Chains A and B, each alone.
Chain A
Amino acid sequence: MSLTQQVLKGDRLALSRLLTLVENNSPEGRAALAELFSHTGKAHLIGVTGSPGTGKSSLVNQLVLQYRKMDQKKVAVIAVDPSSPFTGGAVLGDRVRMRDLSGDDGVFIRSMASRGSVGGIAQTTAALAQVFDAAGYEIIIIETVGAGQSEVEIARLAHTTLVVEAPGLGDDIQAIKAGILEIADVLVINKADRPGVEHTERALRSSLELARPVSRVYHHGQAMTVKAHKPPPNTWIPPINKTIATDGSGIAKVIESIANHMQYLRTSGEWNARERARLRSETEALVRDTLMTQFLKGLPEGAFESALERVFSHSLSPIEAAQFLAQTERPQTPRATKEQP
């Protein structure tokens, strides 16, 4: 039986091995992905991002517990932690907070090093999610590195993105900067038993209201009614949830918000739009890779390296080098006709 067949039958060791092959971007891994693709598209991908120390891993732990208690759905967790830019090594420590999940066959946790990617997830995180999807995991939670403001890659991958904040981590200017708050579908203020939680909530709420005018505003502490434009029907306004992940308070509400968001995605057509955008960018990236490989193969021996050398010595700009290389491409024999799948 092939590895993919074993994975489809629910073999956990086969699944784990396949995840490694896919993570390493090996030819076997890519072949398996192609084979499994027709089995994907069923899972709900939930991204969890936020600054380091806001409690993402503990929150994920509680979310999984709750999902397992509620309706026995199989849950996969992909926890991404940073690789060292110097040695390529990594310490992946998200499992430390997820020990409550061990011993449950319906849960599969996989730690992943970012391996040089900067968007908060690794290059092959999306592919790993596809494998879990094909293997029948209905909920896939992806926890990002957690480096903060530029972690927007996750929004492209996940259907629902949770942004986790904690009291005492910055003011309302942080909250209106572009980036992490913009991608939030659901906001979570974790560690809600800490002082300053009202402050954080107010900052988040007011930054959300800057984007979507409301009819009641607070001015010098007074509630005032103002004329506001009604938001167009069927817009999603990110709800703010308060949680204490160490004891599970507020988790049920977060699950509810996620379910509501799912409902919204389905009814508004956004689900299809997101799926299409995601698959489009994935296909485009692969086309780019393929063309690049073909292009390099088509060049005369050493042409690329010698052009690079001239760029290194600053006698040729990268733009000129690219143009030059495009012109020196060997006349191609009529493109090898690829077999139709």
Chain B
Amino acid sequence: MSEHTIRVLVAKPGLDGHDRGAKVVARALRDAGMEVIYTGLRQTPEMIAEAALQEDVDVVGLSILSGAHMALAPRIMELLKANGQDQVKVFMGGIIPDEDMPRLKAMGITGIYGPGASTEEIVKEIREATKS
């Protein structure tokens, strides 16, 4: 395969058990020809960073509906950097209040999606962000 296949880690950090969104996105990315590594519920930031490292992903997709994003996201970004994976693009979905968005973006989160976001848009923006 000459063309680089985009590899995405889809993970749900934190304690809420609502994984439907993550599954819908995983499925959409698969249908867009990407390889999605799905890790399931209740992942710690450490588990996510470790999986991202082992799988050498281009993108990490986080789904958080618990409201703990301001605690989880910085830790994940920090661990990715500590592992030398600064180039990994992080996307986030879930219930994220508007006022948190600027701070998350400033942390280096590439895209944030709320309820009703279209999967086409997510696919398009992941493709754009991983273009080298």
**A102 in contact with B5 (CB, 8 Å):** no
CB B75 to nearest CB in A, in angstroms, measures: 15
| A90-143 interface (Cβ within 8 A of B) | 90-93, 95-96, 99, 102-103, 108-111, 113, 115
**B40 in contact with A89 (CB, 8 Å):** no
Segment from A13-21, A44-52, A171-179, A216-224 that makes contact with B: A13-21
**B31 in contact with A84 (CB, 8 Å):** yes
**B1 in contact with A87 (CB, 8 Å):** no
| Residues of chain B lying within 8 A (CB to CB) of residue A202 | none
**A110 in contact with B1 (CB, 8 Å):** no
Q: Look across to chain B and name the residue whose beta carbon is closest to the beta carbon of A76.
A: B54
**A111 in contact with B37 (CB, 8 Å):** yes
**B54 in contact with A115 (CB, 8 Å):** no
Interface size range on B against A = 20 to 34
**A96 in contact with B38 (CB, 8 Å):** yes
Residue of A20, A89, A108, A111 near B33 (CB, 8 A) is A89
User: How far is A1 from B107 in the complex, measured between Cα atoms in Å?
Assistant: 31
Whether A113 contacts B35 in the complex (CB less than 8 A), given A96-B40, A102-B46, A102-B47, comes out as yes
CB B94 to nearest CB in A, in angstroms, measures: 19
Residue of B5, B26, B55, B85 near A110 (CB, 8 A) is B55
| Residues of chain B lying within 8 A (CB to CB) of residue A330 | none
| A41-76 interface (Cβ within 8 A of B) | none
Contact flags A280-324 to B (C-beta < 8 A → 1, else 0): 000000000000000000000000000000000000000000000
Whether A89 contacts B31 in the complex (CB less than 8 A), given A20-B56, A95-B39, A103-B50, comes out as yes
Question: How many residue pairs bridge A and B at CB < 8 Å?
Answer: 80
Q: Look across to chain A and name the residue whose beta carbon is closest to the beta carbon of B42.
A: A99
CB A226 to nearest CB in B, in angstroms, measures: 52
Whether A24 contacts B4 in the complex (CB less than 8 A), given A17-B56, A103-B47, comes out as yes
Contact flags B1-44 to A (C-beta < 8 A → 1, else 0): 10011010000000000000000001101111111111110010
- Pick the 3 closest A-B CB pairs, nearest first: A89-B30, A96-B40, A16-B56
Instruction: Please give the residue numbers on chain B whose beta carbons come within 8 Å of chain A beta carbons, in ascending order.
Output: 1, 4-5, 7, 26-27, 29-40, 43, 46-47, 50-51, 53-56, 83-85
| 30 A-B pairs with C-beta separation under 8 A | A12-B53, A13-B85, A16-B53, A16-B54, A16-B55, A24-B5, A84-B30, A87-B32, A87-B33, A89-B29, A89-B31, A89-B34, A89-B35, A90-B35, A91-B26, A92-B36, A92-B38, A93-B40, A95-B38, A95-B51, A96-B39, A99-B40, A99-B47, A103-B46, A103-B50, A108-B54, A109-B54, A110-B54, A113-B35, A115-B1
